[in-house]
């Protein structure tokens, strides 16, 4: 991986535990970090974000090598991992902190995000109209350390075994068949 040509993308697709876990398995992804973005409070804590009063979404900041994995491939994974037709929720996780959102850094990235959103919606993967928010990126706040790699450290925690684990297995089957997963 060429560290000089790495790019980042920030988006939210519900609870960051499974999103972060899945992206860290992809070839070309140097890191996926759970955190918060899109709100009005500096240095928010998990407890504050969970109230829905900070305006932040649970997000993942992905650092990747575009020579190995493209923005479009990352968007395909993003739309695979969550239901972009659910407003401010994913399953039983309810609140604005679980919204579907893509943060873009400039007009070129906004255009790529708009195209990815349109392509996914037209694919028919999810029934219904997409509610994914497109918003300018302002600041990413890394979540507390115990959230990083949470599923890997806590696979038997009830939420992880009931929700995250099955989603990861579905992800591994699909993207493994496409040859997109790290083998180490």
pTM above 0.75, yes or no: yes
Tell me which of 15, 18, 22, 160 is the catalytic residue.
Answer: 15
Interstrand relation of 57-64 and 29-37 (parallel, antiparallel or unpaired):
antiparallel
- Per-residue pLDDT of 1-59, as tens digits, reads 777 899 999 999 999 998 999 999 999 999 999 999 999 999 999 999 999 999 999 99
Residue 33 lies in a domain: yes
Kindly tell me the burial class for residue 9, based on how many C-beta atoms sit within 10 Å of its own C-beta (0-12, 13-18, 19 or more). buried
Residue 2 lies in a domain: no
CA dist list (Å): 60 to 23, 129, 149: 9, 23, 12
Q: What is the pLDDT of residue 92?
A: 87
Residue 1 lies in a domain: no
**Number of domains within the chain:** 1
70: domain range? 7-178
Q: Please determine, for residue 184, whether its predicted confidence score (pLDDT) is greater than 80.
A: no
Kindly tell me the burial class for residue 1, based on how many C-beta atoms sit within 10 Å of its own C-beta (0-12, 13-18, 19 or more). middle
Q: What is the pLDDT of residue 12?
A: 97
Residue 106 lies in a domain: yes
160: annotated active-site residue: no
Residue 131 lies in a domain: yes
Residue 128 lies in a domain: yes
- Per-residue pLDDT of 71-112, as tens digits, reads 999 999 999 999 999 999 998 899 999 999 999 999 999 999
CATH number at residue 117: 3.30.1060.10
Q: Please determine, for residue 138, whether its predicted confidence score (pLDDT) is greater than 90.
A: yes
């Amino acid at each position: 991986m060429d560290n000089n040509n790495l790019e980042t993308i920030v988006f939210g697709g519900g609870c960051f535990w499974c999103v972060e876990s899945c992206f860290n398995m992809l070839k070309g992804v140097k890191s996926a970090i759970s955190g918060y973005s899109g709100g009005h409070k500096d240095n928010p804590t998990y407890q504050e974000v969970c109230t829905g009063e900070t305006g932040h979404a649970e997000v993942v900041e992905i650092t990747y090598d575009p020579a190995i994995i493209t923005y479009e491939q990352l968007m395909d994974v993003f739309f695979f991992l969550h239901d972009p037709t659910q407003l401010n929720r994913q399953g039983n996780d309810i609140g604005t902190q679980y919204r579907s959102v893509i943060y873009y850094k400039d007009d070129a990235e906004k255009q790529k995000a708009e195209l990815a959103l349109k392509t996914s919606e037209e694919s028919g993967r999810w029934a219904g109209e997409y509610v994914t928010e497109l918003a300018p990126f302002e600041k990413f706040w890394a979540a507390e350390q115990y959230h990083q790699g949470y599923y890997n450290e806590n696979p038997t925690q009830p939420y992880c075994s009931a929700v995250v684990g099955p989603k990861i297995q579905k992800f591994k089957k699909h993207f493994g068949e496409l040859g997109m997963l790290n083998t180490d």
